[in-house]
Structures are given as C-alpha cells and as structure tokens.
Structure 1
C-alpha cells in the first residue's frame, strides 16, 4: 500500500499535476469507475479507539475487496465514534457482501454498517448534508461560477458586476476572518497564515504572503491558480474582484482597520499568477 502510494506521488510530480509540492485531492462525492470494476459504497460507524479503522479495513482486504475513494470524519450524532465511508470495488471479491457485512458487525469496534450500490451513476449516495467544519456546504464545479458571473455581467454590465463581486467578497472575507479568529483564537500573523491554509483546503487557490506590514496595515499577496481567474478564463483585464474583496475584508479584520485591495497581476490576462496589493 505504501509503495503504491509513493508511485502515485512520483507520477503526480513528474506529470505536473500538482501546484508546487501540493498533491491534488479528490472529494468523496463521485468516483471514477474503471472497466471491469463493480462499484459499491460502504459506510461504517466505528468506536473512537486506535486500530478501529484497521480492523474494518482488514475484513475488506481478506475478502479481496479493493478500497477506492474514501473519507473518515466525526458527526455529532455519534459523539464517541467516527464514520468511515468509502467506494469499494467488489468485482474480485471472494465473499458475498452479506457475509462481509456480517463479519464487520461481529467486530467489537463496529456500531453500524451500511452498504449501497450507487446507481445509475457513481455518485456518493449515503450522506447528506455536506459540512465544512461545522458549517453546511455545497460543492460547485468552477464552470458553474463562470456561468453565474457571465449571466450577471449581462444584467449588471461589467462595471456593475465588479462592484457587486467586490462588496460581496469583502463582507464574506470579514465574516471569515472574524469566525476563524473566534473559533481558533488567532490574531495578527497567525490569522493571516490561516487565510492561506483555508484557501488551499477549500480549493480556492494557493496563497502566498509576499509582504506584510502590520503597523502600516498593508500587504502584497500572491494567489496562484485562483479559482476565479481560472473560471473566467482568458480576459484582457483583471477579473478576480470577489477574491480582491475577500482579501480586503479579511485583512481589514487582521489590521483592525478598513483597507482596500487592488489586483495588479491576473492569471486570466496572461500573468503567471494573481497579485493583490492591500492598503
């Protein structure tokens, strides 16, 4: 398993599928079914003890069931347990799913088992709603953002859409900074570092702090592979107005002073990355 993972990482690095040293992450929402595979989904509620996941995985391995895209997480409904949910390929299974379920239920660490065949398409079909931390979330492919913004631009005209996106981004950025500060107890430099963490974790972009001056309330931030620039595709002008507003709102909380942001470079207009000056 470890050797296979290292091969995958090496392949990703060689093919340029990652940004810097980051490895792409596939969300547990839909899976890729290869020819000959027979896809099922399994969800197991496990006691919150060391080795619980290993015991459950061993039952699947002993039945020659291949574990594919999966996720493990806590939910409030099971305060002393965790949930492990996964797509599995049963095309070469040596035991029936009924027998596998029975073996899992016999384990002292297993509280519940759910098996389901996702049909007609390989979408995850056991869980709802989706949570980002403790906040309900949705998954939107970047093409949907382009379609929305393109439609709004026709209604508001370009200049009007710029104002709408910037102001909306600024309000959301302020809320995000206040929330992160409150939940994790972060201020100043650490709150700025959390901005980069959150952007990467949610798939928005890779954020780098080029310059920061807490006393003068100013900063220069580089945003690589920004979802907004990628969604807008090629334009002769800067396009990341929502991101620009978000950074202005977020850093207004960091600096405890209202600041504005200007995009000086943009991936959509041919620059290597997006760059924002905040002051």
Structure 2
C-alpha cells in the first residue's frame, strides 16, 4: 500500500497506525512495512546477541557493544527522512525521532515514547518499557543498548552531528520508566578515552580490523597483534648477543621510551590531566592483554608507588624461571609515569610470578638527580 504525506501526518497525530501498511506473506517468508522488507525479532534472538557479547566482556560492556551495533541501524533512518522531505515534511530532530520510534514500537518494540524535553542540543525521551528491558529484566540494570544506539544513530542521520545518549532510568532495573537523555557532543578521543578509563567502554569499540588487507587500527593508529613468544624470542636473542644483564637493561630502556611515546600520543588527543593519562595508558595496555592491574598503592613516607599486577606478558611467556623476568613491563610502567607526570622515575620488580610469587609487583620511585 502506497503511503503519502497525509498518512504520515495521521500517524504522527495518532489517528492511524501502521497496521494497514504491513504485508505478511507466510508462504514467501516475507514481512514488509511501507514496502520495506523487515523481519520479526523473537526474544531469544535479542538475548543471544547480548549474551554473545557478555561472554567476552561483561554485562555493562555487552550493552555498550549492542549500542554500537544498533547505532548503525539508526543511521539507516536517513532514507525515511529523505522520503518525508520529498513529501514536503521537514520535521525537527525530536519530532523525527518520536516518529521513528512510533513506527518501531507499533511493530512490538515496547511501549510508545513520550517526548519530555526537546532542545537544539538536548532531547529527553521516556517510555514505560522497551523490548530489551522486558527480555533482560533479570539483569536488574539499565540494559537498553539497542535504544541508546538507535537514538544516537537516528539523530546523527538527521542532524549530521554526534549525539551521546544516556539511559537515566530503566524498566529492567525496576524503575517506572526507561528514560533517555540525548546530548549533542563534539566527537573527541578525550571523551572516548575517559569512558574507557571509567570502565564504560572497551577498546574493542575503537578497533578497526581488516584481516584480508593485513591492517588493524586502534584509535586511528596502525597496530599489530603480537604473540607472547616474541618476548621470549627477543630476550633470548639479546642475551646471546650481549649477556643477561645488558639485555635486561636494553629491554627496560626500550619499553620505557615506548611508554613515554604512548603518553605523548594521548596528549595529542587533548588529554592533559596526568592521572587520566597514566590511567588511560594502564587501561589500554591491560585491555590489550599486556597485564592486569590489581591495585596501586602510595607510600607517603618513602614516596614510593607500588603497582600489583595479576600477570604480565613476560611472566606468562617465560613461565617458571625462579627469577624476575618482567624488565619490559617495568620499563613500560616507568615510561608511563614519567610521561604522564613529567618526573624522572625508576621502576623495579620486587615480586614475580615467574619466580613463584602470587603476583608481579613493581615499585616506582623518583630517580636520584
């Protein structure tokens, strides 16, 4: 059935529903709305998508991953926006957003949306419940990643600007409404990096992997995946060439320089707070599999920072050796601290898993003038 301007106007006013425009041909296995092929979405499919991400991340980051996925879906609404403009309908971003979700929710994606606030740079929406808040009610937390992503994608499609959507309350958490606050933001790596440090994002969101082209990018910079045996191979080769002590010193110095250079890269993103710089570096290396930070302690009396790691790439690679092996990690930690705080330090591993200790523990102290 053909749809025109008067039909959309009636839909917006609530005088019509999409029912007359749905075509279902069971024998052909097709389901269309406004002539656009679509499909039903059973509960178990949505749950499977969330649980697929949860298996490798956690519930909070799984929701973020789903949000990223459906942001692309939301950007597909540009076609509907173009159709409306051809019909002479120039809706505001908030009006268009409400229409999109009226169409979606009449197909079973939860309750109708209510527009709470409509500004140029802030839009607030709420609904009694969403499809995913019903499906994932047992998660007992804000779960509406699908809708957050949809909202961000729709607003990006119609405004050309970047929007950030926060779910303030959620039906799945026991709140009366699922309420979404959408703010127009300037895209910046500073904003994204701070989200990673806070545990609100994972670096997987920022990895662009083109395996058939032999390319991986992280935060717009080329990176490579490196097997752990590279550390044992590299260190063994250096030891044969120059001896164990000099090889350890070379590794320490090389990775110290790498840590400092890494921090300088973050500074170019506009990040200036020393604590954020160091936390960001620790978080990124941790999420890339180099180590896992258990705790950081500060001894005021000795002016010593102590960092405890559950493991390091070297201790995992070398296994049991009866001695400290984490010279690369020690240099890396020192370089991160020096680069972030602008001070000269030295790092020393005082406990090591390869030596039989429970964790790898490092002290960071000021370097004598």
Same fold by TM-score, threshold 0.5 exceeded?
A: yes
Contact 1:213 1:219 in 2 (8 A): yes
What secondary structure sits across from 1:183 in the alignment?
A: coil
1:132 matched to 2:218? The reply is yes
> Partner residue of 2:355?
269
In structure 1, the gaps of 5 or more residues are 24-46, 54-79, 81-123
Match of 1:167 among 253, 264, 272: 253
> Partner residue of 2:337?
251
Which one is further off, 251-260 or 211-220?
211-220
Task: Kindly indicate which of the two structures has a greater share of residues assigned to helix.
Answer: 2
Aligned-partner Cα distance in 2 for 1:125–1:192: 31
Measure how far apart 1:277 and its partner are. 0.5
The verdict on how the C-alpha distance between 1:214 and 1:129 changes in structure 2, with shifts beyond 3 A counting, is farther
What secondary structure sits across from 1:211 in the alignment?
A: strand
Q: How does 1:52-131 map to 2 (within 5 A)?
A: 52=76, 125-131=211-217
Measure how far apart 1:191 and its partner are. 1.8
What secondary structure sits across from 1:225 in the alignment?
A: strand
1:3 matched to 2:47? The reply is yes
Measure how far apart 1:176 and its partner are. 1.2
1:239 matched to 2:325? The reply is yes
Measure how far apart 1:257 and its partner are. 1.1
> Partner residue of 1:227?
313
Measure how far apart 1:215 and its partner are. 11
Structure showing greater relative contact order (alpha-carbon pairs closer than 8 Å, 6 or more residues apart): 1
Aligned residue pairs: how many?
Answer: 184
- Structure 1 length normalisation: TM-score? 0.56
> Partner residue of 2:229?
143
Deviation per CA, 1:101-148: give whole Å up to 9, x if none.
xxxxxxxxxxxxxxxxxxxxxxx7533322222222221111232222
Match of 1:50 among 65, 74, 77: 74
Aligned-partner Cα distance in 2 for 1:137–1:257: 28
Deviation per CA, 1:198-219: give whole Å up to 9, x if none.
1123221112442147998641
Q: Cα RMSD over matched residues?
A: 3.6
Deviation per CA, 1:207-241: give whole Å up to 9, x if none.
24421479986411112221121112211111100
Contact 1:217 1:255 in 2 (8 A): no
Contact 1:223 1:273 in 2 (8 A): yes
The verdict on how the C-alpha distance between 1:2 and 1:228 changes in structure 2, with shifts beyond 3 A counting, is farther
Larger-Rg structure: 2
The verdict on how the C-alpha distance between 1:129 and 1:149 changes in structure 2, with shifts beyond 3 A counting, is same
In structure 2, the gaps of 5 or more residues are 1-44, 61-70, 78-159, 161-209
The verdict on how the C-alpha distance between 1:9 and 1:198 changes in structure 2, with shifts beyond 3 A counting, is closer
- Structure 2 length normalisation: TM-score? 0.43
